[in-house]
Structure 1
């Protein structure tokens, strides 16, 4: 099965509609975006880029990067967005593992690009600024359609266990994700999606693709700033925004007693279990939060809580999107309702595997084993508890860091919290907590422990609680629990 190139189709349907609003009130239409992307594609072909070849990009979020993303289908190549926070050795590994011959970079990463070129003489590097300034051309080699099962993007996992793996994301995967999201969240002519998450992350990339498929504009803010995000919702007509808990907490803090306009209809909250106190604060302010569950391997959302269940199923990540299925299993056996186990998923938005990797350990009988722990209630709603690798086993009892973090985040003095395991001779492991305090609040470990003691079983209580300036997070804002212990006093 083949499908038209999405930007080509969108530009023919609504050429004058705004595609992107960015800083300094820069706006481009779908027709203008199409012209930019076709010119970029022609230049890539002139560089010798071949179909099914990997083109890597190390770029800041920008209009130029958006055009590059949409240029790739015209060439038949595969795009590999690189995490701009990685070191040169980490980037070099991904370039070599993905067999990338071409690297497009933002000028702010010119020094790293040069370093990578020096380490790999076969690598061809080009500034995205130069690529963007190529003259508009008509190139008969540009494709008009693509195979649905062809790989559009390769996105490397974070590598929290072992070396990172390149997730293969096909056009069909991205299309199914976009359609499933729309069937769940709905779509209006007034919709406008705010993008503050990195475009090299699946959360940001998926919004770009949905914009073209849906025909709605995005508002691009290259870096997250809570005040600017609030202003976009209140002043620019933004109706949907994707966030993680940390971002949402900071936006609430920055907005004071203000409220969002009624036109704002969806705060899509992902990145792991959300503290109940944060969700309750949003309910009190009338902010429509839809918790979601997804990952790179599912091209963003897999399950999302429908708006009508925001209050009755507070804390749930909802049900699988229309074309998707999930189960809860343990040792290969599906568990009954209410029992916690590993979340396994399947559907047309789920990757077929990893670049140059045997995926037999991840896929069993057609189901992707996610490594996440959760349960499904009597009505089929998913509740995500934690990552399996983050599970703390203390005295034979399972302790979920997210549960402790959620309790601590409910304390008025705490802005955010992180929990990890330390070794314990008597119990095997014990949780230890790190908190970032709200402005003007004083740290009182005893008070926080008392607060936890009233809300958690004894075996779940943190052995110690430390106040820190900030918690380690990745570029998408997700907490990096594996780095928390580096914050312990020396």
Structure 2
């Protein structure tokens, strides 16, 4: 058994829902700092009291057991408290991406039949509340009759403070009854997939499976009540909401919400607050490592980081250890349809294992590689990643059809392979794979080679049409800030480490990739940029 896998069960008997876990945390960690947001500092008791007040307010405005409530806002203390308030009221949270247009947001609200929406008057120059209210006037069907729009930062009749003021002792007793009646299989969160290939789909995730997953996750990472976590990952995404808020709740960890990542702000908070845990994508750590302010910033408090991508340059993991001083760096694999959890590296794994794989399955979850004929692939053989366990017992919004096959396997659409040590290596998407002269090419393998070159910040490889071979590879390169990247060196590196058919035939140097609202690269747009202007380069 790998280090960190021998995790005791949740310490409180009968705590099987997030709502019950919130109340347990409010008592068990009562005086421990829970949330720090600028000058605001809540203990766990104050944090849960705020959530209870929000829950009573939701009951007062007519939110019922099983209803859905949306949040369309940046990270904040009240966002965190409202997540718990929604679940204490017996409702399910629907996080709404702040990068969505109001039309996209309204579409999801209509499909999820949300009973209330929390938002803000303004964020990054956009008047969210006004936008949403105006859109509702044009399309009344996006919210049910009588549904409320509530602002975190407003002072008028729609403010969260007035919502809280509506809650009475009777409403609080109703909250008690709803918490007592919640079951582990009841929906706690509806997360919408990012929609890289089509319309986003809502996934219903249960209280019990989420609680189990992130209690285990925190145990593998070694989170303790003395830890302090910086959360710049948005709470509308599983990374910020679950790896951040939920794991912190059950482990008694103090959270520091950051509405927008800025390297200078992040470094300042890390030093001033002695941050110990930072879950963030590789680009965040790359940006911090290139920030001139790092030389005069003390980051020695950092001890845990979670970062993830199909392939991470080993040099980045080494720099996180050696320059930022992070003792434990973890790399995961998961998907929304499986509560965001499947595999994770472990403390003590080598730099290469952390950089090039996503580790081993977490307890209670099976992961296999299947061939097209459904037989199990050998070690080192690429096939489709399939997942089975408590975390895959989910369904789409308003559709009880299981997302698993008759054997219980969830087919992820991702390609991967296991090495001899049992570590999962993700090699790409089934739909991303392209065929060069009859040979399959998996973009992640090529991206890993090119991203290891000095001066390269990020790489995206796609297949583009070719008259002779059908398709060939094209590599899009984002250089590091202030660095120059020599195409000849990239070609030489690919020539040394990749078979001829895998080597990109064309290279494009760009400032950024087209991404969707969750930050995933839209590879079809990269292909289109080449096919629309084949002579560009």
Q: What TM-score, normalized by structure 1, do the two folds share?
A: 0.92
* Structure 2 equivalent of residue 162 of structure 1: 198
1:140 paired with 2:173, answer yes
Give the deviation of 1:208 after TM superposition: 0.9
Gap runs ≥5 in structure 1: none
Contact 2:314 2:352 in 1 (8 A): no
Partner SS for 2:196: coil
Q: How does 1:191-202 map to 2 (within 5 A)?
A: 191-202=227-238
Write the distance in 2 (CA, Å) between the matches of 1:70 and 1:205: 11
2:504 match: 462
Aligned residue in 2 for 1:317 = 358
| Aligned partner (choices 506, 511, 526) of residue 484 of structure 1 | 526
Native 8 Å contact 1:291 1:304 kept in 2: yes
Tell me, yes or no, if the aligned pair for 2:472 and 2:505 is still in contact at 8 Å: yes
Corresponding residue number in structure 2 for 1:394: 436
Deviations 1:162-185 (A, max 9, x none): 321111111112111112212311
Q: For residues 29-44 of structure 1, what are the structure 2 equivalents within 5 Å?
A: 29-44=43-58
Q: Where does residue 121 of structure 1 map in the other structure?
A: 140
**Alignment partners' CA distance in 1, 2:217 and 2:136:** 40
CA contact (8 A) 1:7 1:30 kept: no
| Equivalence for 1:302 | 342
Q: What secondary structure is seen at the aligned counterpart in 1 of 2:175?
A: coil
**Aligned ranges 1:174-213 → 2 under 5 Å:** 174-206=210-242, 207-213=244-250
What are the within-5 Å matches in structure 2 for residues 225-264 of structure 1?
225-254=262-291, 261-264=299-302
Separation (CA, whole Å) in 1 of partners of 2:467 and 2:403: 33
In structure 1, C-alpha distance between the alignment counterparts of 2:507 and 2:429, rounded to whole Å: 21
- 3-state SS of 2:351 partner: coil
Instruction: Describe the SS at the equivalent of 1:71.
Output: helix
Q: Deviations over 1:7-64 (max 9, x none)?
A: 22211222221111123x4211122222221221122112211111111221121112
From 120, 141, 144, the counterpart of 1:106: 120
Q: Quick check: 1:83–1:201 contact (8 Å CA) kept in 2?
A: yes
Aligned to 2:5: none
Query: How far did residue 283 of structure 1 move?
Result: 4.9
| Partner of residue 77, structure 1 | 91
Greater mean alpha carbon deviation, residues 249-258 or residues 44-53: 249-258
Q: Retained in 1: the 8 A contact 2:190–2:203?
A: yes
1:54 equivalent to 2:54? Answer no
Range 237-246 or range 199-208, more displaced: 237-246
- 2:31 corresponds to: 16
Deviates more, 1:449-458 or 1:384-393: 449-458
- The separation in 2 between residues aligned to 1:449 and 1:455, in whole angstroms, is 10
Query: Given the alignment, which residue of 244, 248, 253 partners 1:216?
Result: 253
Of the candidates 457, 470, 487, which is equivalent to residue 415 of structure 1? 457
- Aligned partner of residue 147 in structure 1, secondary structure: coil
Tell me if structure 1 keeps the 8 A contact 2:196–2:520.
Answer: no
77-86 vs 293-302, greater mean Cα deviation? 293-302
Contact in 1 for aligned 2:194/2:518 (Cα 8 Å): no
**Superposition deviation, residue 451 in structure 1:** 3.4
TM value normalised by structure 2:
0.85
The structure with more strand, counted as a fraction of residues:
1
> 1:268 offset after TM fit, Å?
0.5
Shift of residue 364 of structure 1?
4.1
Q: Aligned pair 1:329/2:370, yes or no?
A: yes
* Alpha-carbon distance in 1 for matches of 2:482, 2:420: 44
User: 1:212 Cα shift?
Assistant: 1.5
| Structure 1 residue 446, shift from structure 2 partner | 3.5
Distance in 2, matches of 1:271 and 1:150, equals 31
CA distance in 2, matches of 1:103, 1:262: 40
Change (3 A) 1:181 1:76: same
Name stretches of at least 5 consecutive residues in structure 2 with no aligned partner.
1-13, 123-127, 153-158
| TM-superposed deviation, 1:312 | 6.3
1:5 aligns with 2:20: yes
Q: CA distance change for structure 1 residues 20 and 8 in 2, over 3 Å: closer, same or farther?
A: same
* TM-superposition CA deviations, 1:340-366 (whole Å, max 9, x none): 111111222334111123645654421
Distance in 2, matches of 1:351 and 1:486, equals 37
Counterpart among 325, 333, 347 of residue 293 in structure 1: 333
> Residues 175 and 37 from structure 1, CA distance in 2 versus in 1: closer, same or farther, beyond 3 angstroms?
same
Aligned match for 1:450, one of 485, 492, 501: 492
Go from structure 1 to structure 2 and tell me whether the alpha carbon gap of 1:16 and 1:361 turns closer, same or farther (over 3 Å shift): closer
The equivalent of 2:394 in structure 1 is: 352
Corresponding residue for residue 473 of structure 1: 515
The number of equivalent residue pairs is 489
Contact 2:225 2:254 in 1 (8 A): no
What is the root-mean-square deviation in Å for CA atoms of aligned residues?
2.4
**2:477 aligned counterpart, secondary structure:** strand
Distance 1:147 1:247 in 2: 38
SS in 2 for 1:209: helix
1:480 deviates by 3.2
